[in-house]
Structure 1
Amino acid sequence: MSFAEAARTVGISTRTGERWRNGRGASGRIKAYPPINAAPIAEPTAPSRYLRETDRIHIADRLQEKATIRAIAAELGRSPSTISREIRRNGTVLADGRWHYRPYSAQRRADARRPRPKLGKIGQNPELHDFIQSHLALRWSPEQICHALRRRFTQRPEMRVSHETIYQALYSQGRADLRRELTQALRTGRARRRPRRQADRRRSRAVKNMVMISQRPTEAVDRSVAGHWEGDLILGRKKHSAIATLVERSTRYLMLVHLPDGYNSAAVRDALIATVSTLPPHLKRSLTWDQGTEMAAHHGFSIATNVPVYFCNPGSPWQRGSNENTNGLLRQYFPKGTDLSTHTPEDLLAVAAELNSRPRKTLSWETPAERLHKLLAA
């Protein structure tokens, strides 16, 4: 088209078209405008996870044409939820109450939200921050705190976060939502997050007359009946001291066994006999252990307590999953590399009582003590 035809098609005068084409110099309070044919700043052509300004202009134009969200999303190669979220976040309410989407205003809002790092949800809410920080000091896990918030603040969505949000508030660099030293109260106590490592292979131990876990009663496998226990040792510095742990499979109730005379087979047998003998008869059904030599005297234990002992397969800690999980929790109280012989039986009772009063996800957020109390009351 000629210049005059183009001006008439757009609907402007030729004088305005000349200003658009040739630009306009600054005059008084009027700022200068570049020519229309000036080389624009090229946007990157590679796909981006973020909407660009051209995408937002397209959204605004199509909304003026009454196009649907799904149609706009298909044209831009985006998810419909992305377009819907963009309109809801960056739209503008006009003076007459109507909702309007302005692409350049939307771009400015998006650019203002993008810089990192920024203060997270925990840092913006002092009440939420204090609740999480106080329960971390009590050695609650982030997931336990998350569900406690849901149960306590049912009508306040601003007081709910996911457990991953708590982890990021602790570990993300540049954030100050939670004190970094609270990572010592987590199960691992690590100052940095790291991926899971493959467990070291365990050597099989020669224990005579073992009855394997495959012969354990079905009621112990499906946890339908209480009284079936899992046991193991946690070792201290240079393996010179140990504590025996017993976890009931149905209620996850924990009992800690003091081993002041070492953890050879005779000492472990006598300590387990003394502990298990305090249980009522209906809570003494079976005991599952790994193939450690500390249970070489299992036959004498079974005769004294009438509790059969079943042994896991070599290198299969998941067959005693409740006990392995509990041993990990106990490392908050008995860190690796410390002397466990310094702890008295009263210390062990206090630790067991604290763990038995923690809510558990697998118990629908009841505590082991509550579940055992219901069982005994029934």
Structure 2
Amino acid sequence: MTYTHLTTDELVLIESYHRNNISVLKISQYLKRSRQTIHTVVSFFKEGHTALDYYKQYKANKKRCGRRKIHLPEDQQIYIKEKVSQGWTPDVIIGRCEKTIDCSMRTLYRQFKDNLFDATTLPLKGKRKPNGHKERRGRQAFKRNIAERKTDYPQFQTEFGHLEGDTIVGVQHKSAVITLVERLTKVIITLKPEGRQAADIEKVTNQWFEVVPRNLFKSITFDCGKEFSNWKSISNQKDIAIYFADPGTPSQRALNEHSNGLLRRDGLFKSMDFNQVNQSFVSSVASKRNHIPRKSLNYRTPLEVFLSYMDEEILSNLI
């Protein structure tokens, strides 16, 4: 039979039976408890205590049960705070193994939950659209559907060179930054256009492709924003396939959406006017994220994985 602790009702009954001189054997039969359990409680009552005293003692003993909380050494706490300030998450700190941490990943997450470390630096949960929401954007007829990508590139999931793209819009929707993410390495590339019109997006994208080796990247998957309406010109001039996700389906470009959220936290805030910053600034924000190890990359940084596919001369022109 599964062991359970005595309830408060049972303690009151035992005290009542004891005061009426009912034997331990009878009480154990009435409550269907072992004789030893009843004997322990009755002995406590014989010392002049009450059921309330027994319950208070039980609660005090209960607090001492279980595993004691782990207190990390000061040098490990300093290391964790330093890495968290750089954008590392607890699973990356443990998995990267740069420094020995005397606890597991889950324990470290619990310490953030207990406010032993600053939990506000951890990634936030995503938002969901309300029930009945209908996407009204992205109904342009010009788009090349994402369904064609699987036919054109059967090895898409494991092949290097496929990008996901979008724009991050600044304050009052008057400025933007283009974000591109390589799917296999998760490296992020940010481009600063002069405006957010289709011509501005086309111009800066073509300029970037001028310094990229031809056919290094095979495809780009954009969302359905009108700022990408000049996609045919980019595709024809730079020999790259461009596709568009279905309206209201960010999960088809999940890596890019997640990366945009990280860039927002790292410096490309919604309240910022991107017309007031230059290419160096937006590149530095992406560079910070590219130097943070990722669990999905076996705790290597996106930059380390990206380097494994090309030499440093090509890389210097990209990031």
Give TM-score, length-normalised by structure 2. Answer: 0.71
Find the counterpart in structure 2 of residue 372 from structure 1: 306
Q: Aligned runs of 1:88-127 on 2, under 5 Å?
A: 109-112=61-64, 120-121=69-70, 125-127=73-75
Query: Which consecutive residues of structure 2, in runs of 5 or more, have no partner in the other structure?
Result: 1-14, 22-32, 41-56, 312-319
| Structure possessing the higher radius of gyration over alpha carbons | 1
Q: Does structure 1 conserve the Cα–Cα contact (< 8 Å) formed by 2:214 and 2:238? A: no
Q: Does structure 2 conserve the Cα–Cα contact (< 8 Å) formed by 1:220 and 1:228? A: no
- State how far apart, in whole Å, the 1-side matches of 2:144 and 2:170 are: 29
Q: Deviations over 1:19-72 (max 9, x none)?
A: xxxxxxxxxxxxxxx9993379xxxxxxxxxxxxx89x65xx9xxxxxxxxxxx
Query: Structure 1 residues 236 and 120, CA, compared in 2 at 3 Å: closer, same or farther?
Result: farther
Q: Aligned runs of 1:28-39 on 2, under 5 Å?
A: 37-38=18-19
The number of residues matched between the two structures is 264
Q: Does 1:310 align with 2:243?
A: yes
Q: Of 232, 255, 271, which residue of structure 1 is paired with 2:189?
A: 255
Query: Structure 1 residues 166 and 202, CA, compared in 2 at 3 Å: closer, same or farther?
Result: farther
- State how far apart, in whole Å, the 1-side matches of 2:273 and 2:20 are: 74
- State how far apart, in whole Å, the 1-side matches of 2:191 and 2:170 are: 14
Q: Does 1:186 align with 2:145?
A: no
Find the counterpart in structure 1 of residue 49 from structure 2: none
**CA shift at 1:286, angstroms?**
0.8
- State how far apart, in whole Å, the 2-side matches of 1:376 and 1:286 are: 18
- State how far apart, in whole Å, the 1-side matches of 2:217 and 2:103 are: 43
Q: Does structure 2 conserve the Cα–Cα contact (< 8 Å) formed by 1:187 and 1:331? A: no
Q: Does structure 1 conserve the Cα–Cα contact (< 8 Å) formed by 2:70 and 2:103? A: no
Q: Which letter does structure 2 place at the counterpart of 1:133?
A: K
Query: Which consecutive residues of structure 1, in runs of 5 or more, have no partner in the other structure?
Result: 1-33, 41-53, 62-104, 171-176, 189-193
- State how far apart, in whole Å, the 2-side matches of 1:291 and 1:298 are: 11
Q: Does 1:133 align with 2:81?
A: yes
What RMSD in Å do the two structures reach over aligned CA positions?
Answer: 3.4
Find the counterpart in structure 2 of residue 152 from structure 1: 99
Q: Does 1:289 align with 2:230?
A: no
If asked which structure has higher relative contact order (CA below 8 Å, sep 6+), I would say 2
Q: Which moved more, 1:200-209 or 1:335-344?
A: 200-209
Q: Does structure 1 conserve the Cα–Cα contact (< 8 Å) formed by 2:142 and 2:229? A: no
Q: Does structure 2 conserve the Cα–Cα contact (< 8 Å) formed by 1:237 and 1:339? A: yes
Query: In percent, how many aligned pairs have the same letter?
Result: 24
Q: Aligned runs of 1:167-246 on 2, under 5 Å?
A: 167-170=112-115, 177-179=116-118, 183=120, 185-188=121-124, 196-198=127-129, 201-217=134-150, 219=153, 222-246=156-180
Q: Deviations over 1:260-317 (max 9, x none)?
A: 2x11111101111111232223422111011110011111111221112101111111
Query: Structure 1 residues 287 and 36, CA, compared in 2 at 3 Å: closer, same or farther?
Result: closer
Q: Does structure 1 conserve the Cα–Cα contact (< 8 Å) formed by 2:218 and 2:240? A: yes
Query: Structure 1 residues 129 and 39, CA, compared in 2 at 3 Å: closer, same or farther?
Result: farther
Find the counterpart in structure 1 of residue 293 from structure 2: 359
Q: Does 1:336 align with 2:270?
A: yes
- State how far apart, in whole Å, the 2-side matches of 1:366 and 1:220 are: 27
Find the counterpart in structure 2 of residue 12 from structure 1: none
- State how far apart, in whole Å, the 1-side matches of 2:172 and 2:135 are: 18
Q: Deviations over 1:129-188 (max 9, x none)?
A: 22221112112223322323x5632xx6x2434253144033xxxxxx225xx61x3344
Q: Which letter does structure 2 place at the counterpart of 1:186?
A: L
Q: Deviations over 1:312-341 (max 9, x none)?
A: 111111111111110010011112222222
Moved over 6 A (4+): none
Q: Deviations over 1:62-119 (max 9, x none)?
A: xxxxxxxxxxxxxxxxxxxxxxxxxxxxxxxxxxxxxxxxxxx9975423459xxxx9
Q: Does structure 2 conserve the Cα–Cα contact (< 8 Å) formed by 1:298 and 1:309? A: yes
